[in-house]
Chains A and B, each alone.
Chain A
């Protein structure tokens, strides 16, 4: 953990970042166990290893701020405050889920906590995030929108169109690239012309910064600076947060495309226990306090799993509902 000269946030913020990271980590462990046990069948893109980024970003946001995230976005949603049991019910395909079981893990949506769009298409979170920020700007509100995406998304046209538009209109949006070094199965260097994605910001006239996304203090500082600037009308920024995913592209991925030892090395530097140790070593938290947080999360997860698995599947009438507004024609032909 970097113990630099930069100012350390308030103790409550440090602890809150840990709570959110621990929630993401423990939720992931529970998910993989439940999927392995065959109790839930769903495609799962584990965010394990990338916990620090949304935890450190979200402590500078409130429920009224917006996020757009992607299929590997459960960490972003949990950090933003998504109720755990609604997430589990959605991923189990139950009527009680955030989207009545009609979105699934790649399309979880929860406007009450500002989770506005989750997309399964690489790069598509950015242009829509601009629109949320555009509404905020036209209405003179003080909201900030975060667009989360991966390193692979920086090579699709939507990224470039969105950064350009955000810059010319000075939209209150922060583009947070979670660079986990692989786009699906392909290494960054094979696909990406820029030495670092942060450099691409210069082409669009906005600040761009590469930061260690596994370092909570560095991540928090970079995010807070960009969020505060966007909120005050200073326009967009691009943050490239360096990280690593521990469980490959999708659940069941055997990592055959990775360099030998690369993942093991990253896992040995697991950012969640590292932050836990840093809090203890620097006297910001006691062992008992952190254990209490973890136990509370485990209880929440117990309740969420139970709630999800006990919930009913959606009624068949849901198939024809929400295609159009209620009352509008729902289909072309009976």
Chain B
């Protein structure tokens, strides 16, 4: 489903990632795709992200795999070591747990353990996010596990155009990248990307400039931060929203620069709050800017529970707009 860009004013994340993969495969024959249900015979992925690619590039380069997460990542690692650029799909982020040995002990460490003789230019695509009533094993944000591991990059786009530009950068990066796609916002339309424009890894985006308080986020919750900022602007509260784009290595320079100006920070993510990415960022802000802060750094994340099924509980589990707003107000005293 290559999307002719000239004809559409809006594009969703499924189309944007599909376009990035299509272009990457066209640019470099070393780019191959592995994953469950990804070829067209199986409908091009459970939500259609890879639709059309096996027809265009052949089933040798776009391989539907068995439901064998260790074997998928293992095969991708082996191929990457000898110069291919595999994009391996682990359908849901919770299933990375099944492949953890391959990701953490091997993909992330082989460059270091081999003294730089080998490296693993592998991209792992995975989707997650609460909101669809998928319960405790299909919706977790687990990025902190990987951010805690040396040697793997973690990328979490917040819009279709970012998904496109960051995906191209991941595929052509020389290190393993975990690329997190938010499931509930897959179909949300956005501005189409500029063709071929790669977004650098490790660099944040100032999604909204402001002077009173800095909201730091990534993935779906960037949208929640933008809504909160819009609402508070009507009261004259001017929020800056920093979209990290890359969770690890995160752009500390941009975050610290912003907080040095606003003197207030709130970190928002859908992952559970304790021991999360927000804790690392808050700690770093405290280490660097303690004397300049006008208020303690606040964190907003999911409750420290498994993702619940019942709609009422699931809605409360994730960081709600009310909790984000309340945290921002708390920093303003």
Contacts and interface: CB of A to CB of B under 8 A. Distances in A.
- Are A and B associated in one complex? yes
B71 A162 contact: yes
Interface in A106-134: 107, 109-111, 116-117, 119-121, 124, 126-134
Given A133-B78, A328-B175, A329-B202, A99 B113 contact: yes
Contacts of A168: 66
Interface string B147-162: 1001101000000000
A168 B81 CA distance: 22
A323 B117 contact: no
A165 B113 contact: no
B115 A103 contact: yes
B280 A161 contact: no
Contacts of A134: 75, 78-79
B163 to A, nearest CB: 21
Interface string A66-109: 10100000000000000000000000000001111111000101
Nearest to A104: B113
Contacts of B73: 127
Contact of A138 (B60, B118, B173): B60
A325 B280 CA distance: 23
B288 to A, nearest CB: 9
B247 to A, nearest CB: 10
Contacts, number: 163
B146 to A, nearest CB: 12
Contact of B80 (A127, A131, A137): A131
A107 B117 CA distance: 12
A311 interface: no
DSSP class of B's interface residues: helix, strand, loop or mixed? mixed
A135 interface: yes
B66 A102 contact: no
Given A116-B82, A161-B66, A322 B111 contact: yes
A322 B102 contact: no
Given A165-B66, A332-B249, A135 B78 contact: yes
Given A321-B116, A324-B111, A131 B79 contact: yes
A116 B151 CA distance: 18
A120 B105 CA distance: 9
A164 B68 contact: yes
B117 A99 contact: yes
A135 B102 CA distance: 18
A158 interface: yes
Contacts of B202: 328-329
A132 B63 CA distance: 15
Given A124-B101, A158-B74, A161-B70, A131 B115 contact: no
Contact of A131 (B77, B151, B174): B77
Contacts of A157: 70
Contacts of B112: 102, 322-323
Contact of B79 (A97, A100, A103, A132): A132
Interface residues of B, number: 51
Contacts of A110: 117
A325 B150 CA distance: 12
B249 A130 contact: no
A161 B115 contact: no
Contacts of A136: 82
Interface in B193-234: 201-202
Given A127-B74, A165-B68, A102 B113 contact: yes
A322 B116 contact: yes
Q: Quick one: which of A119, A131, A132, A169 has the most chain B CB within 10 A?
A: A131
A273 B238 CA distance: 82
B75 A109 contact: no
A101 B77 CA distance: 22
A333 B284 contact: yes
A331 interface: yes
A84 to B, nearest CB: 18
A323 B108 CA distance: 8
A148 to B, nearest CB: 14
A157 B32 CA distance: 25
Interface of B: 32, 60-61, 63, 65-66, 68, 70-71, 73-84, 86, 101-102, 105-106, 110-119, 147, 150-151, 153, 173-175, 201-202, 248-250, 252, 280, 284
27 contacts: A66-B82, A98-B114, A99-B113, A102-B115, A109-B118, A117-B106, A124-B74, A127-B70, A127-B71, A127-B74, A128-B75, A128-B77, A128-B81, A128-B106, A130-B74, A135-B84, A145-B78, A161-B71, A161-B74, A164-B71, A165-B65, A165-B75, A325-B175, A328-B175, A328-B202, A332-B280, A333-B284
Given A98-B117, A325-B173, 19 more contacts: A98-B114, A99-B115, A99-B117, A102-B114, A102-B115, A109-B113, A109-B117, A121-B106, A127-B102, A128-B102, A128-B106, A131-B78, A131-B80, A133-B78, A137-B60, A161-B71, A322-B111, A322-B114, A324-B151
